[in-house]
Chain A
C-alpha cells in the first residue's frame, strides 16, 4: 500500500499537480460490496454490458427475414467478420466456434472506448480528503479489465491449439528435442507465448490510458476546441485497439492451430 502511494505520488508530481491534475494508474475504489472492492472501472464495465445487452435485445426483437436498417448493419458486420475469420483460419467450423469470442472482444472493447468521452464519465464524482474520486472511469484504463480479457484470450488460444493439434503435437512447438537449434526455438516460442499476457494487456491499457492522460493535460491548458479533435482521434484509437485485440486473438489462434514444421 505504501509503495503504491509513493509511486502514484511520483507520477502525479511529475505532472502539474499543483494545478489540479490527478492521475492514478489504478482504478479508484468507490465502495465495497460483500467484501469485494467496487471500482469505477467495474461500474463502467457493467454499463458497457448493459448497453450491449440492450443492443442485443433490440436487434433480436426486430429480427426478420426481410431485414430493417439496424439488422442489415448488424448482419453486414457479423457476416463480414465471419467471412474474414473463415478466410484467415481456413476452417469454417472453427471460425464459427470462435466467432462469438472474437466479436464479443471487439464489441466489448469498442463500446467501452467510444463511450469513454461521454460527458459525466470521469467528471462526476466526489472529493474525499482533497482527492477527487470519479464515479465512472473508462473501462480499459484499468489493467484489471485488460488483464482479465488477456487471460481469457490466452487460455482460449492454448485450449484451441491443444484441441486442434492434440497435446503432444502442440507441445512439440515449445519442447523440441530433435536438435539444439530446435530446442532454442521452442524456448523462444514459449517465452513469446507467455509474453503475450503482458503485451496484450499493456497495449490496450497503455493506449487508452495515454489517451485519457493526453486529453486531461490538453484540457488543462486549452480547455476549449482543441480537445475535440484529440477526442476524435482517441475514439479512432479506441476502435483500432479493439480491432487489434480481436485480430491478434484471431491470428494467434491461427498460429496455434498451425502444426509446427
Chain B
C-alpha cells in the first residue's frame, strides 16, 4: 500500500486540491453555465407551448367568429327580404289608393262639368226665352203703333 501510494505520488494535499478544484468548477459551471442554459431552454419551451396553445385557442375563436358571421349574414338577408316585401306591399297599396283617388277626382270633375253645362244650357234657354218674349213684345208694340 505504502509502495503504491509513493509510486503513484499520492498525496492527500494534492487530492484535496484536485477535489476542491473540481468542486469549484462544478459550482461555477452550475451557476454560470448549466443553470442559465437550462433555464433558457425551459423558457423557450414554455413560450412555444404558450404559442401553440394560443394558436389553438385562436383557431377555435376564428371558428366561432366564422359561424357568428354566417349567422349575421343570414339574419340580415332575411331581414332585408322582409323589408323589400313590406316596401313592395306598401307601394302597391299606395298605388291603388292613388288610382282610386284619381278616379274619384276625375268622376267628380266630370260631374261638375256636366252640372255646369246643364246650368249654362238652362240659363241660355231662359235668356233666349226672355229675349224672344221681349222681341215679341217689341214687335207687337211696333205693329200696334203703326196701326
* Interface residues in chain A, defined as those with a beta carbon under 8 Å from any beta carbon in chain B: 1, 3-4, 7-8, 25-27, 36-37, 39, 42, 45-46, 49, 52-53, 55-57, 59-60, 63-65, 67, 71, 74-75, 78-79, 82, 96, 99-101, 103-104, 107-108, 142-145, 147-149, 151-152, 205
Contact = CB atoms under 8 A, between A and B. Distances in A.
A151 B21 contact: no
Interface string B21-64: 11111101110111011101101100100000000000000000
B7 A148 contact: no
5 contacts: A49-B24, A53-B28, A148-B15, A148-B19, A151-B19
B16 to A, nearest CB: 8
B8 A63 contact: no
Interface of B: 2-3, 6-11, 13-19, 21-26, 28-30, 32-34, 36-38, 40-41, 43-44, 47
Contacts of B9: 4, 25-27, 39, 142-144
A178 B13 CA distance: 43
Interface centre among B18, B23, B30 (most CB of A within 10 A): B18
Contact of A42 (B3, B17, B26, B33): B17
Contacts, number: 125
Contact of A149 (B2, B22, B34, B41): B22
Contacts of B37: 59, 63, 71, 74-75, 78
Nearest to B17: A42
B13 A36 contact: yes
A37 B43 contact: no
Nearest to A7: B7
Given A52-B28, A56-B29, 7 more contacts: A8-B7, A37-B14, A42-B14, A74-B37, A108-B22, A144-B10, A144-B15
Contacts of B43: 65
Q: For chain B, what secondary structure do more than half of its interface residues adopt (helix, strand, loop), or is it mixed?
A: helix
A37 B19 contact: no
Contacts of B7: 3-4, 7-8, 25-26
B2 A3 contact: yes
A58 B7 CA distance: 40
A205 B8 CA distance: 10
Nearest to B33: A56
A12 B9 CA distance: 16
B40 A75 contact: yes
